[in-house]
């Protein structure tokens, strides 16, 4: 199971704020982030990688992108 | 989809540098001093050109603004990013646009011009930039506390096309009613005969520069407000690279062109009131942060179909009319007769918006 953040329709910087929040609070190893613009996708991936999370996959959907990011392996 | 160079670290630096160089060159070609590009001032000039205010020295349909929207529109179409969307608290964004413009005109410039003024040696700009960062910092406190304007919805393509169409309409007006020497009016458009509104680079060069900047800024997501916000909110310096590049490139180009003149007194289209330079941009910075973008970024978003950004742009144009009709705008002689009151009211309104808009998403 992965936690899901639905940031579709939200403008800067909400998608990143919600993603960082989920990264802090979620116990899950993976987080799925839904966004509706290319800009939000870039911002979420940039924020994730700056916290050591890696991009697992990005799927283009009809109303945006489904991004899956993974927690770094070290500890917890 | 992952080869968007302009969205990379060096891409945004390149875009900032291009804007800085282009601004200094546009000044050389005729635009006002330290105002090669100023989104707030140029929207204000457009408001004057169509008679929303009648301040005779600031009336000109600035082709750069038209270019920003249409260049962004072209990039969004070409890279399949055009997406018509709207409905995220539009009236709040309209009000924020009004006060963003009022604050910017108390300082006399948008964030881009604040950087360009500094790059031209105008020390007064420092207080504006400090105010800008302080305003954005207050905005980040609201963002941390849960402030947001809610979700936008996908809308029919026609809705997102409207701002590019408005700009195409303005361009048509300029081509039908071009400036005539020594005439304050050409057809339905007002033109300045003196003052900053009378200073402009050749129309086609301004338009070309605007189109090019609009195109690359859409791809890079260049945003001056975002640069400081991301630094304060996330410790992230990605967008800041673009801001730094703009400053350095404009400074270097000014040195080469002999446009650099260090000092506080006698700077072009500027006043020396430290507190009001600070407070004007404090208000503007807070309004930009609450609205999610600097004036330039709002134009680029409007070009890619964001109807909420288009509402913010409309708010800024209306705010410019208020500024000049009600004596809120500053001039080189100092602040306007009601500038102080406007800044106080504006800050109160922005705080109200910041405290009360906490829709859970």
Q: Do A13 and B226 touch (CB under 8 A)?
A: yes
Kindly state the average pLDDT of the residues B228-250.
97
Q: Is the pLDDT of residue A23 over 50?
A: yes
Kindly state the average pLDDT of the residues B2-10.
86
Report the CATH number at residue A45. Answer: 3.30.110.40
Residues 6+ apart with CB under 8 A from B255: none
Q: Do B151 and A63 touch (CB under 8 A)?
A: no
Minimum distance, in Å, between the CA of residue A52 and any CA atom of chain B:
14
Within its chain, how far is the Cα of A9 from the centroid?
15
Specify the pLDDT at position B238: 96
Number of domains in chain A: 1
Under the banding of pLDDT at 50, 70 and 90, the label for residue A2 is confident
Kindly state the average pLDDT of the residues B162-189.
97
Rg (CA), chain B: 19
Interface of A with B (CB under 8 A): 8-14, 16-18, 20, 36-39, 42-43, 46-47, 50, 60, 63
- Which pair of structure tokens corresponds to residue A66? 């489904």
Specify the pLDDT at position A26: 87
Kindly state the average pLDDT of the residues B194-214.
98
Residues of chain A with C-beta less than 8 angstroms from the C-beta of B359:
none
Residues of chain A with C-beta less than 8 angstroms from the C-beta of B93:
none
ipTM above 0.85, yes or no: yes
Cβ atoms of B352 and B138 closer than 8 Å: no
DSSP string, B126-141: HHHHHHHHHHHHHHHH
Residues 6+ apart with CB under 8 A from B299: B39, B65, B68, B69, B72, B214, B309, B313
How far is the C-alpha of B140 from the C-alpha of B318, rounded, in Å? 26
Q: Is the pLDDT of residue B111 over 70?
A: yes
Q: Is the pLDDT of residue A76 over 70?
A: no
pTM: 0.96
Asked whether residue A75 is assigned to any structural domain, the reply reads no
The residue ranges of every structural domain in chain B are 5-356
Rg (CA), chain A: 11
Instruction: Determine the length of chain B.
Output: 361
Residue of A nearest to B294 (CA): A12
Kindly state the average pLDDT of the residues B185-189.
97
Q: Is the pLDDT of residue B359 over 90?
A: no
For B78, the enclosing helix (H) or strand (E) is helix B63-78
User: What is the pLDDT of chain B when averaged over all its residues?
Assistant: 97
Q: Is the pLDDT of residue B328 over 80?
A: yes
Interface of B with A (CB under 8 A): 1, 4, 7, 79, 81, 83, 85, 88, 143, 148-149, 151-154, 221, 223, 226, 229-230, 233-234, 236, 238, 292-293, 306, 308, 361
Specify the pLDDT at position B3: 72
Under the banding of pLDDT at 50, 70 and 90, the label for residue A1 is low
Q: Residue A57: which domain range?
A: 3-70
Cβ atoms of B324 and B59 closer than 8 Å: no
Q: Do A13 and B361 touch (CB under 8 A)?
A: no
Under the banding of pLDDT at 50, 70 and 90, the label for residue B289 is very high
Among B30, B48, B323, B326, smallest CA distance to B185 is for: B48
Asked whether residue A76 is assigned to any structural domain, the reply reads no
- Which pair of structure tokens corresponds to residue B317? 């144009």
Asked whether residue A63 is assigned to any structural domain, the reply reads yes
Minimum distance, in Å, between the CA of residue B292 and any CA atom of chain A:
6
Q: Between the CA of residue B72 and those of A31, B26, B225, what are the distances in Å?
A: 32, 20, 18
Q: Between the CA of residue B313 and those of B6, B98, B114, what are the distances in Å?
A: 24, 9, 19
Specify the pLDDT at position A74: 62
Q: Is the pLDDT of residue B1 over 50?
A: no
Q: Do A38 and B81 touch (CB under 8 A)?
A: yes
Residues 6+ apart with CB under 8 A from B235: none
Which contacts qualify for B346-352: CB closer than 8 Å, 24 or more apart?
B346/B99, B346/B102, B346/B103, B346/B283, B346/B287, B347/B282, B347/B283, B347/B286, B349/B95, B349/B99, B350/B96, B350/B99, B350/B283, B350/B286, B350/B287, B350/B290
């Amino acid at each position: 199971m992965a936690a899901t953040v639905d940031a579709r329709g939200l403008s800067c910087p909400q998608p990143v704020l919600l993603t960082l929040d989920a990264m802090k609070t979620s116990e899950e190893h993976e987080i799925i982030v839904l966004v509706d613009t290319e800009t939000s996708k870039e911002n979420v991936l940039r924020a994730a990688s700056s916290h050591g999370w890696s991009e697992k996959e990005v799927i283009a959907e009809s109303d945006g992108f489904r991004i899956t990011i993974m927690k770094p392996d070290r500890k917890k | 989809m992952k080869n968007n160079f302009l969205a990379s670290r060096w891409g945004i630096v390149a875009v900032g540098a291009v804007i800085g160089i282009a601004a200094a060159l546009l000044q050389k070609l005729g635009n006002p001093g330290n105002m090669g590009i100023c989104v707030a001032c140029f929207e204000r000039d457009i408001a004057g050109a169509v008679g929303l205010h009648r301040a005779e020295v600031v009336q000109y349909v600035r082709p750069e603004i038209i270019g920003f929207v249409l260049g962004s529109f072209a990039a969004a179409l070409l890279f399949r990013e055009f997406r018509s969307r709207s409905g995220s608290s539009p009236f709040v964004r309209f009000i924020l646009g009004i006060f963003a413009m009022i604050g910017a005109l108390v300082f006399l410039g948008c964030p881009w011009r604040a950087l360009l003024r500094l790059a031209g040696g105008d020390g007064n700009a420092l207080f504006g930039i400090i105010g800008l960062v302080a305003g954005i910092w207050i905005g980040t406190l609201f963002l941390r506390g849960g402030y947001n304007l809610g979700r936008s919805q996908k809308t029919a393509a026609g809705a997102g096309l409207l701002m590019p169409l408005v700009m195409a309409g303005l361009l048509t007006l300029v081509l039908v009613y071009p400036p005539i020497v020594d005439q304050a009016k050409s057809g339905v458009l007002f033109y300045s005969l003196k003052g900053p509104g009378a200073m402009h680079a050749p129309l086609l060069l301004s338009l070309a520069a605007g189109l090019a900047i609009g195109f690359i800024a859409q791809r890079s997501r260049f945003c001056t407000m975002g640069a400081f916000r991301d630094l304060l909110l996330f410790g992230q310096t990605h967008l800041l690279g673009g801001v730094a590049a703009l400053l350095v490139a404009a400074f270097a180009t000014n040195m080469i062109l002999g446009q650099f003149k260090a000092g506080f007194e006698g700077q072009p289209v500027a006043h020396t009131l430290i507190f009001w330079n600070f407070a004007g941009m404090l208000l503007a910075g807070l309004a930009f942060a609450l609205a999610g973008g600097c004036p330039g970024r709002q134009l680029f978003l409007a070009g890619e179909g964001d109807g909420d950004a288009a509402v913010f742009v409309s708010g800024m144009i209306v705010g410019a009319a208020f500024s000049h009709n009600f004596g809120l705008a500053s001039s080189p002689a100092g602040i306007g007769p009601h500038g102080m009151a406007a800044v106080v009211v504006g800050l109160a309104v922005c705080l109200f918006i910041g405290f009360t808009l906490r829709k859970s998403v």
